A and B are shown apart, each in its own frame.
Chain A
């Protein structure tokens, strides 16, 4: 039995997409406001990700690469999810550029099974509540089917915990500034309802990284340090970065 590998017909695919686009893209009269409610699946990157968390049952501590989360080299999350609600407003008479504003919640997490204990879990959870403002660019305007490019500047309230059943060490919630950038493909079912599918690149502590050299606020409450310094034990900065795929509902208002 033999298999032949065919080359991907790029020209055919482009032609197909163009025809699809032309066939569906009947124009819609567009309202001034729009609301998008979307759910996300997040994939942690850089120091946000990791798979080297271990649990010490004697001292009841979760360690990452042998260090407590207070100064671990990464934050050892593997996946995440989120919910975001974004409103947009037309800035000009055309639909090409819209102002965006909204908020979102993100949880990056990991879950490990304690060796020899099937129903006993430990891991890390990081939480980000964001308020965001930015722009949406619709290169071809708004039609039945249209792409959009999105950029958001985000104010983030960042926190987290290590856990074994209940929380063990907690990050004191502290503010960071970051951004999200990406693109969406939107499809309008009617004049008032549509759906979107897209992706984002998120960098949640782009600005305002802290050395937080006085690390403990309480016995188990830790100030989050993400800027390396000689005193805080970090070997490098810790970046909270994740890539998201998202899908949502668009509601168009007059």
Chain B
């Protein structure tokens, strides 16, 4: 009996040890061979005759069949020319925006600065909807600043890394100042949201299916009304905002189905907070969940580089569409802001 147990263990262990060896072998890179064929064909033929062209096409199609083009995974990066003046404009603009926000916060959230630093978690006051705000904001800063850096001549990957770093640096700066404010604290949950939001575009860059998912924001018209009246805690007014996780299924569909599906049409899950404000507290606050149609702005017409960049940034806003509140009660909306 003991022997059989030991034998079983051995079999299991050896099985697990063999699994890695059974992995699919990497597909041999035949580009060098095909290149040799191409060169030999070119040498043997003085002119590009039909036979040679068909041979080259055959090689290409063979290559495409065996090894998918790298373009499918990572977009080919154009050779960018660095523009120092544009870069200075972008950097200057970001620093100015940073300073502007610092002045705004200094007169609101960080008005009574403390002489000590503390950590604190605040899952209660906004029922974690503020975490979605952190994810969204970091994501928006990451992508929009990356677009500006790209415009200033950085290659898209580098621009994205610099954009994400900008978002993390800015949001960390906010969090540190929260830690120095008596009414707030350095919240590691917020920091997790910042990192998720800032790194998500990089993940999207390298993992193609993730590009079909987006984080969006929408607001009710009353939010603008409050803004015009200089209502306090404007950026903290989660009751007038919704955060959306949207999916644009077009790229995920089989090509046969794609022909019948409008590329711009997506769906979203929305999150919102009710019955909460700094004036009344959050004792009776609760979350609401929504389902709605969504428009993927990047799939709308417009192919110039400027329009493409513009559409990517505009895609952070959830355009009002028909939807339904699914929790706490059910309400149908013709247009859900």
Tell me the A residues contacting B by CB distance below 8 Å: 6, 9, 12-13, 15-17, 19-20, 23-24, 105, 107, 125, 127, 144, 159-161, 163, 165-167, 170-173, 189, 217-218, 221
User: Are B2 and A12 interface neighbours, CB within 8 A?
Assistant: yes
Evaluate contact between A170 and B120: CB separation under 8 angstroms: yes
The segment from B49-57, B111-119, B139-147, B290-298 that touches chain A is: B111-119
A173 and B6 within 8 A (CB): no
Residues of B with C-beta under 8 A to A20: 10, 13-14, 16-17
Assess the B121–A161 pair: CB atoms within 8 A.
Answer: yes
User: Are B182 and A218 in touch, CB under 8 angstroms?
Assistant: yes
* Contact pick for A161, options B9, B116, B120, CB 8 Å: B120
Selected contact of B118 from candidates A15, A105, A221, CB within 8 Å: A221
Which residues in B have their C-beta under 8 angstroms from that of A167?
A: 120-122, 185
Give 1 or 0 for each of B1-12: 1 = CB within 8 Å of chain A CB: 110011001100
Q: Are A24 and B185 interface neighbours, CB within 8 A?
A: no
Q: How far is the CA of A24 from the CA of B115 in the complex (A)?
A: 57
* Distance between Cα atoms of A125 and B119 in the complex (Å): 10
Does B20 make an interface contact (CB < 8 A)? yes
- Inter-chain CA distance A171–B120, complex, in Å, is 9
Closest residue of B by beta carbon distance from A172: B116
Contact of A189 with B188 in the complex, beta carbons under 8 Å: no
Could you tell me if A9 and B5 are in contact, using CB atoms closer than 8 angstroms? yes
When chains A and B are docked, how far (Å) is the Cα of A127 from the Cα of B189?
Answer: 11
A89 to B188, CA, bound (A): 28
- B13 lies within 8 A of A125 (CB): no
Contact A218 B17 (CB under 8 A): no
* Cα separation A165 to B125 with both chains bound (whole Å): 8
Chain B: which residue is nearest A11 at the CB level? B6
Task: For A12, list chain B residues within 8 Å (CB).
Answer: 2, 5-6, 9
Contacts of B282 in A (CB 8 A): 165
User: What is the CA–CA distance of A24 and B51 in the complex, to the nearest angstrom?
Assistant: 51
Question: Of all chain A residues, which has the CB nearest B122?
Answer: A166
Could you list 4 further interchain pairs (A-B, Cβ under 8 angstroms) beyond the known A17-B13, A23-B13, A125-B121? A20-B16, A23-B17, A221-B114, A221-B118
Contacts of B118 in A (CB 8 A): 159, 161, 170-173, 221
Q: Is B124 an interface residue (CB 8 A)?
A: yes
- Find chain A residues with CB under 8 A from B182 CB: 218, 221
For A107, what are the chain B residues with a Cβ–Cβ distance below 8 Å? 188
Contact of A9 with B119 at beta-carbon distance under 8 Å, contacts A23-B13, A166-B124, A173-B179 already known: no
The answer for the CA separation of A5 and B122 in the assembled complex, in Å, is 52
Choose among A13, A17, A23, A221 the residue that contacts B14 (Cβ–Cβ < 8 A): A23
Q: Which residues of B contact A24 (CB under 8 A)?
A: 16-17, 20
- B13 in contact with A9 (CB, 8 Å): no
> Which residue on A lies nearest to B184, using beta carbons?
A167
Are B6 and A6 interface neighbours, CB within 8 A?
A: no
* A16, A163, A172: most-surrounded residue (chain B CB, <10 A): A16
A16 touches B10 (CB 8 A): yes
Cβ-defined partner of A15 (8 Å) among B6, B14, B20, B125: B6
3 tightest A-B CB contacts, nearest first:
A159-B119, A20-B13, A24-B17
30 A-B contacts (beta carbon < 8 Å): A6-B2, A9-B2, A9-B6, A12-B5, A16-B9, A16-B13, A17-B13, A19-B13, A19-B14, A20-B14, A23-B17, A24-B20, A125-B121, A159-B119, A160-B119, A161-B185, A166-B122, A166-B124, A166-B125, A167-B122, A167-B185, A170-B118, A170-B120, A171-B119, A173-B179, A173-B186, A189-B20, A218-B114, A218-B116, A221-B114
